[in-house]
Each structure stands twice: as C-alpha cells, then as structure tokens.
Amino acid sequence: MRKMRLHQWPLLLAAATAVLAGITAADAADCPREDALGTARVLSVDAKTYPRVGLKSFPQTLPLADHEVVLTFDDGPRPPHTQKVLAALAHECVRATFFLVGQSSAESPALVKRIAAEGHTVAHHSWSHPMSSKISFEHAKEDIDRGIEADEKALHGIATRTPSTPFFRFPYFDSTPATLDLLQSRGIAVFGADLWASDWEEMTPEQELKKVTERLEAARKGIILLHDAQARTAAMMPAFLRYLHDNGYHVVHIVPAVTQKSANAH
C-alpha cells in the first residue's frame, strides 16, 4: 500500500479542509465517493462478554483483526470542532463512537442529535469530567448518572439514567474498583483505549498526525482515542482518515449488542 510522506501532510491537511466545506449529512448516507475509506464492518459489543476493554487500562480489548481500528472521540459535543470532525467522517463514509460530556450535551442538544442522525454511536463520559478517584463514590455515581441523563435527554427528549447505548469511558481513564463494579452491575461496558493521539497536549495538527500514525503503525490495530473538542484534532482528521485508507486500515463501528430484554421491549 502507498504511504504518505511526512512532507505531504501539511498540503493534504489544507486541501482536505477546503474540500470539507461543502459536505452535508446526506453525503454520509449516500456515500457517493468510490475512493472513500468507508466503514468495513459493525461489531456488536455485549457488556457481559466485554465489560472492560482497552489495553491501556485493562487486560482485554475488542476482537479486532490486524489493521482494524475503532475510532472514538471524547469530550464533545463542542462547536465548531465537533461539526468539523463529523464533516471529515461523512466525507469518508466512516462511523465512529462519541463519548459525550453531559454538560456539553445539555448545551448543544441539536449537535447530539446530529451525531446520532449521521449514524454514529452516542456513548457517555460523565456530567462534569471529574477524576473519580479524587471524589467520593456517591459523588462519582451521581456525576455518571447525571451525564447519562443529559445525553439521553438531548438525544431522545427524556432524561433517564438507563443509557440507550450502555458504553461509558471514565474521564482521564480514572476509575475505581467501586465505580467499575457499579457499571458492570448495570450492564454498562467500560471503554479504555489501545492507543491515542495525545491531542490534549499542545501541538500542531501535523505533529498530532505524525504521533498517532506512528503509534498505529506499531500497534497495527486497536481502539483509538481522539478528542472532537480539540481544534487540532478536527484539523487533522481528513488527513488521518486518508492515511487509514492509503495504508490498508479498516474501520470497525461499534454498537451495543441487542439483548433479549431490549428486543422484547420493542
């Protein structure tokens, strides 16, 4: 497979950003581009089978083949950066998972609805982004539940503490045995990551692209953590998706497994 050279990245970033200016939600559904990266397959994740995944935090991860990746985004929704990430994903017909902060969902409910409408998975990332180990268990539990309520209200108009997608990621990957047990008892899968772009650090989009592609080249597959709330990540996404395409990677979209209980409810 052809690989991008480092000196090509700034040019590709600029060109792709210009192209994305006219992308709409309809383009994602129609996928008119034959050369698009696309979504290779959908993986149903059952919290009983995979209660905790991501090798940076846990011994187990998702069953991905060589050169398969799961794209995940934290800390959104955050205008205008989330919209730019969505445009990049739509341009390549790729579906991802967004772990949303409840406060931001309450502030931008239309953007939460757009994430879901464009086929992405809406998951949960607390209400106020605390470090669970630094607060009481009751405070941590309340923050988790309040975040789920806000996400669900933005998405469906009803505040419920039962998530329609039972996926959760702890802010900073900072869990405790008690909060892990709580989520497992409620059938909510906890996501870590297998690699990340370190996009919370100060760097240019080009530097971020170099960092994440080098890490992916070493790992060859995995759950990738990115942040749609970061301007640098939004700027580098078109080039990163092209890198995946040009280097033979396949995107796996994760969705919750349909249990007998939920199937009987419909």
At 24-68, the pLDDT tens digits run 333 334 577 889 999 999 999 999 999 999 999 999 999 999 999
> Do the beta carbons of residue 230 and residue 199 sit within 8 Å?
yes
* 197 is a domain residue: yes
CATH of the domain at 122: 3.20.20.370
Does 66 qualify as catalytic in the annotation?
no
pLDDT at 85: 98
Q: How many distinct helices (H) and strands (E) make up the chain?
A: 10, 10
Does 150 map to a domain?
A: yes
User: Has residue 36 been placed in a domain?
Assistant: no
| Domain annotation covers residue 200 | yes
Output DSSP code: residue 260. Answer: H
CA neighbor of 165 nearest in space, from 59, 77, 253:
253
Q: What is the pTM of this model?
A: 0.87
Query: In this structure, is residue 158 part of a structural domain?
Result: yes
- Catalytic residue, candidates 124, 227, 245, 253: 227
Tokens matching residue 28: 């994602």
Q: What's the pLDDT tens digit per position in 189-214?
A: 999 999 999 999 999 999 999 999 99
Contact (CB, 8 A) for 232 and 78: no
- Verify whether residue 253 is a known catalytic residue: no
Q: Identify whether 33 is part of a domain.
A: no
Number of domains observed in the structure of the chain = 1
CB atoms inside a 10 Å sphere around CB 217: 11
Residue 109: give the domain boundaries.
6-18+43-257
Q: Catalytic residue among 74, 145, 151, 228, which?
A: 74
What is residue 7's predicted lDDT score, i.e. its pLDDT? 43
212 found inside a domain: yes
Answer positive or negative: Cα dihedral of 48, 255, 41, 87: negative
